[in-house]
């Protein structure tokens, strides 16, 4: 069990780091190629992140470990602000941005986002509804950037 947890934690953290570090590189590459899409991506991702942050702050849903007598499997000390998951939103919107480079890259990034979502539920820091809405909003906002 301990080895499985360590592997799952490494996959979750690695997916998070990979996506969050790849995004600024992606933006820089587009900027230096004079591809205007970088502006659309930054605007859509930034506005979406602000909206999700504001909504979850106002809604202030409790986390699983606050409702049930469980200890989350990853270190988490925050209370509330669980719905929707910003981690899942961010990962999905970044994945959708990568679609401009190519469908395989975007699909691989989206697979990482879904993996993060599953693990955040398994680790006890989010409910399924939190991660599903985060992924959904990330995909919607990520799709909008192709039309603005």
Distance CA(45)–CA(86), nearest Å, equals 12
Task: Find, among 33, 29, 20, the residue nearest to 88 by Cα.
Answer: 20
Whole-angstrom distance, CA of residue 116 vs CA of residue 112 = 6
Q: What is the pLDDT of residue 74?
A: 87
Chain segment 49-60, per-residue pLDDT in tens: 999 999 999 999
pLDDT of res. 76? 80
Count of Cβ atoms closer than 10 Å to residue 27 Cβ:
18
Give the chain's residues under pLDDT 70: none
Given a contact cutoff of 8 angstroms between Cβ atoms, the answer to whether 117 and 135 are in contact is: yes
């Amino acid at each position: 069990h301990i080895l499985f947890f360590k592997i799952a934690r490494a996959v979750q953290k690695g997916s998070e780091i990979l996506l969050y570090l790849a995004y600024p590189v992606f933006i820089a590459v587009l900027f230096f190629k004079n591809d205007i899409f970088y502006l659309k991506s930054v605007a859509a991702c930034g506005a979406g992140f602000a909206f999700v942050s504001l909504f979850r702050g106002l809604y202030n849903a409790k986390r699983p470990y606050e409702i049930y007598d469980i200890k989350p499997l990853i270190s988490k000390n925050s209370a509330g602000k669980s719905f929707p998951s910003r981690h899942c939103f961010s990962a999905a919107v970044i994945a959708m941005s990568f679609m401009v480079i190519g469908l395989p890259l975007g699909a691989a990034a989206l697979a990482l986002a879904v993996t993060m979502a599953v693990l955040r539920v398994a680790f006890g820091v989010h409910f399924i509804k939190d991660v599903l809405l985060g992924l959904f909003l990330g995909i919607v906002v990520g799709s909008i950037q192709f039309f603005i």
